[in-house]
Structure 1
Amino acid sequence: MTAVMSFCGLCLLLVLGKAVRTAVPLLQRLYLPASVIGGLIGLVWINTFGKNFSSDWYASWNDVPGFLINIVFASLFIGSALPRLREIWGLAAPQLCYGQLIAWGQYVVGLALAGLVLIPLFHVDRAFGTLLEIGFEGGHGTVAGLSATFDHFNWSRGRDLGYTMATAGMVLGIVIGMALINLAVRRGWVKNVRLFSEQKAYERRGIYPRHAQPPAGKQTVFSDSIDSLAFHVAVLGIAVLIGYGLKELLFLLNQVSPEGVQKLKVLESFPLFPLCLIGGLILQKLLVTVRLDVIVDHGQIQRLGGAALDFLVVAAVASIQLDFVAANWLPLLLLILAGTLWNVFCVLFLAPRLFREAWFERSIAEFGQSMGVTATGLLLLRTADPESRTVAASAFGYKQLFHEPFMGGGIWTSMALPLVITQGNLFVWLISAGMMLLWLVFWFLVLRRRQNG
């Protein structure tokens, strides 16, 4: 019964979050997702009244995010057309450069602040500085995916601190992002903004009217053979299975690797979720090769991935251990402030110099993603460019193909945590600073010359 009660509890929180958002105009104006609102309700409820109720209601919530993040990452590319790299590189290259600078910069800022201030003064864990990129660029899903890594290195409280970073990043990303958009309107940086006051009532409440409800996807198989939704769930499961096979392969490689590689503990502690992304890509390529991609609908896959993300976020926020957060509130606050200032600096200083056209629209999308999730970036972009009159939406979307496998929950995010723990802050800081320099050189020698030409 524990699993049943825990699932029902999460469902109740999601519906409560939606109801509260619909009823409170301030939350609508802040664009806070129902999953975050519901998670905060659950967090308050557990820490205020939880002792008076059976723990069966929330006992399993800690395990939910670590499982669902595999579904989220497996769903990213299944059912979507895989464009030719040459066709998208020209549009995506500046966006990728900017996104990489933000992500590597979060490591540079976070590790420097931890090494120079937080560790000497507050005696936080040596991996504390990695929480900036994990929580901001990665978000709740990345924290959940790294749960096994946190446990492997006996730093389980890092998971709760990471969830706190991710929650703060998502809220600040929306609030500060909207403030930046209003600044852009006053300065004349954008002209197509659709402000909150211009939205219809149903848009503010987040409920489609009956006549305008869009389809959630297409049925690709006859229901007398297998339900279409069940089939798509099974497809996602196969992608996760491929990812699990890749993880087992990494474990075997670790066994036969040189002793120096084994000491790094990167291969054995590598999380499953970025491998599920690769599993999804492999499965999609296989379906295209055998001409069976027609039986998988990207719309249904997106809905399943979105549902997994909503349940992931509400469970992650509600299950934060506040005692760990309270014990580290000041260093956590300093890390949040430093990361926020870095992201704002990138929008106001780097973006106008890197992008030749639509610099604000392109940078505000990255701002949202680098402080929350991709959906936050798309939300801010939709506000700044509601009719997609600029190249921002296409560039932002294509950039994910190159960016997601490495940063914000990708390969490097998964490697950085064990490397900091085993090799120290300075080692990873030097790598991050070097990568920032590399991308700056790429912009200066390649992108700027092409733009000028």
Structure 2
Amino acid sequence: MTNVLQAFALLGLFLLIGTLLRAKIGWLQKLFIPASVVGGAVGLLVGPQIWGDLTPVQYPTDWIKMYSLLPGVLIVPVVASVPLGIQLSQKDSSSGTARNVFNMFFLMLALFAFQLAVGGAVGAFFATSMPDLGIYSTFGLEMPLGFSGGHGTAGVIGNMLNGMGLEYWEIAQGVAVTYATIGLLGGIISGIAIIKWLNGRNALEGSADAASLPKSWLTGLEPDPEKQRVAGRETTVSTSIDVIGFNLALILAGSGLAILLRAWVRSYDLPLIKAVPVWAYAIIVMWVIWLVMNRLKIAWLVDAGVKGKIASTLTDFAIVAALVSMPVQGVLTFAAPILIAAVVGFIGTIALCLGLARKLFSSAPYERAMLVFGTGSGVFLTGLLLLKICDPDFKTPAMRDGSLAYSMNTVVGFILIPIMVGAAVQSGPIALAGIGAAVLVASVIGIWLTSFMRGGAATELKQEG
């Protein structure tokens, strides 16, 4: 256990180095690269995954193995925390608001499906034309998970493939981290460029320049006590249990029940059920716990802010561990298909967001589109960053509606992932292309059905005004 503590201490050191570099280096601030990504990159650059025996910092071999497994372990409590704090009823139910929320959800889902179709098609092409390259059966799933899920979801695919006994799980996890890095950097750089172009065409309601963002957004630090945000509400009293301890205990308890439930279900040796990963059980268990807490009227015990901080902390450590342990040589083997899929995926993502904005949204169309684009190329925080530039004071309802749409999209995504992995293991990347095309068609049908909702901008403005 002391060895485990030392291994985590090194990850903590890299996180601190990443925080310092982000606070001091201008180009890192302009690209808004998270400290976890910076720290993980430092750990990778000085470690044995690149330099081998010549590495300036030699990690014990068992640490590298631990780091590669850690994202798949930490993703279980991260996913388990998703249902907690979700509002099960909305006071604002105007048809205009509902239509915009559903359209943002379907657009997010369409981006995920398009990226999946492209990743699967590229994987199938290289598997057929260059069989010696060694394209594995689930190749292509990494792009949508990396683009639309970010670095944290690399552990999702690693956890699933490792649990299924597939030897290439570390390579797949590394490819997902690569796509997440490409998506994060590309999404921010291209997003800022698109915002400047839209602002020049007077297409935005209140755009600001990226340079006008608060300094704390750039450095990642907030030295002014009066501007420091409160992490969350203390729903418990520390003389009994600390609020972070309570929320963490609830998340870990749900994760533990999920592990027991999975072991019980797998004891029946059902062919398809055996492949369901533990985090899928975790999200089901936590939904049940959350529904019960709401029914018992004790949902107030969970604070969404505190819960979010716990999940973010676990995600930060998962990202550093995934980057430090990334199998560089194995990932470079697939450089050509990764690059081709990333370019096509990016162009299509931009085209879908900008091309459909005015047709889908009754108010703030491009503000909503940039939030969706940032979410579909990096993570939800990337989308919020681009929205902050478009809508500095969050005067439009884009953030509110986007948060609801993102919550819906996250739940649907976690439902789809086991289905996609199972199909790919059986039929190869071409199955991913087929599923992506089917989900894309379903998204279009959803958008068409949403168009029958009455109301629009006038209804929405009346309710807010």
TM over 0.5: yes
- Inter-partner Cα distance in structure 2 for 1:334 and 1:415: 25
Q: What's the offset of the Cα at 1:249? A: 5.6
Change beyond 3 A, Cα 1:451–1:295: closer
Percentage of pairs with the same residue: 24
> 2:255 corresponds to which letter in structure 1?
V
Query: Does the CA contact (< 8 Å) of 2:198 and 2:204 recur in 1?
Result: yes
Q: Which of 292, 297, 310 is 1:286 aligned to? A: 292
Question: Which aligned pairs between 1:360-399 and structure 2 lie closer than 5 A?
Answer: 360-399=366-405
Q: What's the offset of the Cα at 1:20? A: 0.5
Change beyond 3 A, Cα 1:63–1:225: same
Question: Which aligned pairs between 1:340-355 and structure 2 lie closer than 5 A?
Answer: 340-355=346-361
Q: What's the counterpart of residue 177 of structure 1? A: 191
- Inter-partner Cα distance in structure 2 for 1:289 and 1:426: 44
Q: What's the offset of the Cα at 1:15? A: 0.8
Q: What's the counterpart of residue 122 of structure 2? A: 113
- Inter-partner Cα distance in structure 1 for 2:265 and 2:396: 42
Question: Which aligned pairs between 1:52-91 and structure 2 lie closer than 5 A?
Answer: 53-55=58-60, 58-84=64-90, 87=93, 89-91=98-100
Change beyond 3 A, Cα 1:129–1:295: closer
Q: What's the offset of the Cα at 1:303? A: 1.0
Query: Does the CA contact (< 8 Å) of 1:32 and 1:174 recur in 2?
Result: no
- Number of residue equivalences: 442
Q: What's the counterpart of residue 199 of structure 1? A: 213
Q: What's the counterpart of residue 149 of structure 1? A: 160
Change beyond 3 A, Cα 1:139–1:206: closer
Q: What's the counterpart of residue 3 of structure 1? A: 4
- Give the secondary structure class of the aligned counterpart of 1:154: coil
Change beyond 3 A, Cα 1:199–1:423: closer
- Inter-partner Cα distance in structure 2 for 1:63 and 1:75: 20
- Inter-partner Cα distance in structure 2 for 1:53 and 1:214: 39
- Inter-partner Cα distance in structure 2 for 1:229 and 1:12: 23
Q: What's the counterpart of residue 433 of structure 2? A: 429
Q: What's the offset of the Cα at 1:362? A: 1.2
> 1:53 corresponds to which letter in structure 2?
Q
Query: Does the CA contact (< 8 Å) of 1:164 and 1:320 recur in 2?
Result: no
Q: What's the offset of the Cα at 1:434? A: 2.6
Q: What's the counterpart of residue 259 of structure 1? A: none
Q: What's the offset of the Cα at 1:58? A: 4.6
Q: What's the offset of the Cα at 1:400? A: 2.6
Query: Does the CA contact (< 8 Å) of 2:362 and 2:456 recur in 1?
Result: no
Give the TM-score normalised by the residue count of structure 1.
Answer: 0.90
Query: Does the CA contact (< 8 Å) of 1:5 and 1:57 recur in 2?
Result: no
- Inter-partner Cα distance in structure 1 for 2:135 and 2:181: 20
1:345-371 Cα distance to aligned partner (Å, 9 max, x none)? 112223333223222111211212222
Query: Does the CA contact (< 8 Å) of 1:68 and 1:312 recur in 2?
Result: yes
1:348-405 Cα distance to aligned partner (Å, 9 max, x none)? 2233332232221112112122222222222222222222222211211111332211
Gaps of 5+ in 2: 458-465
Change beyond 3 A, Cα 1:188–1:275: farther
Q: Which moved more, 1:331-340 or 1:75-84?
A: 75-84
Q: Which of 183, 187, 193 is 2:201 aligned to? A: 187
- Inter-partner Cα distance in structure 2 for 1:345 and 1:89: 24
Q: What's the counterpart of residue 316 of structure 2? A: 310
Is the counterpart of residue 93 in structure 1 residue 102 in structure 2? Answer: yes
Q: What's the offset of the Cα at 1:315? A: 1.4
Query: Does the CA contact (< 8 Å) of 1:98 and 1:351 recur in 2?
Result: no
Query: Does the CA contact (< 8 Å) of 1:135 and 1:165 recur in 2?
Result: yes
- Inter-partner Cα distance in structure 1 for 2:358 and 2:127: 32
Q: Which moved more, 1:328-337 or 1:199-208?
A: 199-208
Q: What's the offset of the Cα at 1:89? A: 4.1
Could you say what the CA RMSD is over the residues aligned between the two structures, in angstroms? 2.5
Q: What's the offset of the Cα at 1:42? A: 0.8
Q: What's the offset of the Cα at 1:442? A: 3.1
- Inter-partner Cα distance in structure 2 for 1:30 and 1:430: 35
- Inter-partner Cα distance in structure 2 for 1:223 and 1:234: 14
Q: Which moved more, 1:242-251 or 1:278-287?
A: 242-251
Query: Does the CA contact (< 8 Å) of 1:62 and 1:315 recur in 2?
Result: yes
Q: Which of 239, 242, 261 is 2:254 aligned to? A: 239
Q: What's the counterpart of residue 125 of structure 1? A: 136
- Inter-partner Cα distance in structure 2 for 1:200 and 1:394: 21
Give the TM-score normalised by the residue count of structure 2.
Answer: 0.87
Question: Which aligned pairs between 1:198-217 and structure 2 lie closer than 5 A?
Answer: 198-208=212-222, 209-217=224-232
Question: Which aligned pairs between 1:28-47 and structure 2 lie closer than 5 A?
Answer: 28-46=29-47, 47=50
Q: Which of 234, 241, 253 is 1:219 aligned to? A: 234
- Inter-partner Cα distance in structure 1 for 2:242 and 2:450: 50
Change beyond 3 A, Cα 1:324–1:389: same
